[in-house]
């Protein structure tokens, strides 16, 4: 496999193009996905390439077009519904939680909803309190859906097709700060397992579990910790429901310490679930209480320095890791 340079955005575009070319049942729908090319340019040029039947601009009603996507999936299509930002998805919670996630159960297994919902998430772009949410845990709380958070070029490229093959709804969270991420990807791209977490860096002194837009910050913190003689093992959870407990448990059995980095708020967070789950599954492997670094319990500020102060940045992660290892 020869590597080639690309970006996270372009990896997503390639994944969409491949899916559209591979299966005539696949189509994309959402606000501004057609003529405009998508709020983050993921579908740029697709309207001309695939036509208005398969790249469908929708009215500004998430409740309506997510519901239409559910209906299309029930009718045998494979819709990719793009919701512009995670806060807008709250307008479609009834469709996602009460309909898409529950239909297999409510029908006694007679119906499935093979629907993919993509949305941008996360802060760091000075968009203030209404467009900076990290609500992944809201969806990870719900039985009946799978929740993915691609944080690498490979996952951005490789998660869409297996998500489309899933008979049940899949929600994909793309952190908005990752779209311009540059790097190399193998050609042809490797297959991606949407059931398992991934160990992104091996280490023996502590485990740092994270996902999505926090992965680059954790990687930067782990590199700094290595300079201090602390070898952090970095786990990219990437599948938030169902969580891959065996990978996290195996890592903590080796390192005996757990730090969770989660851009969501601390209260009722995914970090809280990781910490409780590890206490249940690996309590006697822990040499210290699990710790976490989350966003501050405030609506996200607009001012850049205040936004950075509210987020789990590398400085906070390094400080928490040092304390966990008895160096704080």
Of 16, 131, 133, 175, the catalytic one is 131
- The answer to whether 206 and 183 have CB atoms below 8 angstroms apart is no
Residue 83 half-sphere exposure, CB side, CA atoms within 13 Å? 32
* Residue 226: alpha-carbon gap to chain centroid: 26
- Is 136 a residue of the active site? no
Torsion-angle region of residue 96: left (phi > 0), alpha (psi -120 to 50) or beta?
A: alpha
Task: Compute the Cα dihedral for 94, 120, 163, 77 and give only its sign.
Answer: positive
Burial of 104-121, coded b for 16+ CB within 10 Å and e otherwise, reads beeeeeeeebbbbbbbbb
Rounded Cα gap, residues 279 and 65, in angstroms: 41
Residue of 10, 31, 62, 136 marked catalytic: 62
Active site residue 14: no
Q: What is the SS3 assignment for 134?
A: coil
Which sign, positive or negative, has the C-alpha torsion 179, 181, 183, 186?
negative
**What residues form DSSP beta bridges with 39?**
none
CA distance 228 to 231: 9
Residues classed as catalytic: 62, 131
């Amino acid at each position: 496999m020869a590597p080639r340079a690309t970006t996270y955005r372009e990896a997503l575009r390639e994944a969409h193009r491949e899916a559209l070319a591979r299966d005539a049942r696949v189509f994309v729908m959402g606000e501004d996905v057609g003529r405009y090319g998508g709020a983050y340019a993921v579908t740029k040029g697709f309207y001309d390439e695939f036509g208005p039947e398969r790249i469908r601009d929708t009215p500004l009603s998430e409740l309506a077009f997510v519901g239409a996507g559910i209906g299309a999936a029930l009718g045998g299509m494979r819709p990719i519904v793009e919701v512009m930002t995670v806060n807008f998805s709250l307008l479609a919670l009834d469709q996602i939680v009460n309909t898409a996630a529950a239909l297999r159960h409510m029908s006694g297994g007679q119906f499935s909803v093979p629907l993919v919902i993509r949305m941008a998430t996360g802060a760091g772009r000075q968009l203030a309190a209404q467009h900076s949410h990290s609500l992944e845990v809201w969806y990870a709380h719900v039985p009946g859906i799978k929740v993915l958070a691609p944080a690498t070029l490979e996952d951005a490229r490789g998660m869409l097709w297996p998500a489309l093959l899933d008979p049940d709804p899949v929600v994909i969270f793309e952190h908005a700060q990752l779209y311009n991420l540059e790097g190399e990807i193998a050609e042809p791209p490797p297959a991606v397992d949407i059931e398992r977490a991934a160990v992104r860096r091996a280490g023996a002194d502590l485990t740092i579990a994270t996902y999505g837009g926090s992965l680059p910050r954790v990687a930067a913190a782990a590199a700094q910790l290595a300079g201090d003689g602390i070898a952090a093992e970095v786990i990219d959870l990437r599948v938030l429901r169902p969580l891959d407990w065996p990978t996290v448990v195996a890592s903590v059995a080796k390192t005996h310490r757990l730090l969770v980095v989660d851009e969501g708020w601390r209260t009722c967070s995914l970090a809280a679930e990781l910490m409780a789950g590890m206490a249940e599954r690996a309590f006697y492997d822990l040499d210290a209480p699990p710790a976490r670094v989350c966003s501050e319990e405030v609506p996200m500020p607009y001012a850049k320095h205040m936004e950075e102060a509210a987020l789990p940045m590398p400085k906070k992660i390094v400080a928490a890791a040092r304390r966990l290892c008895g160096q704080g």
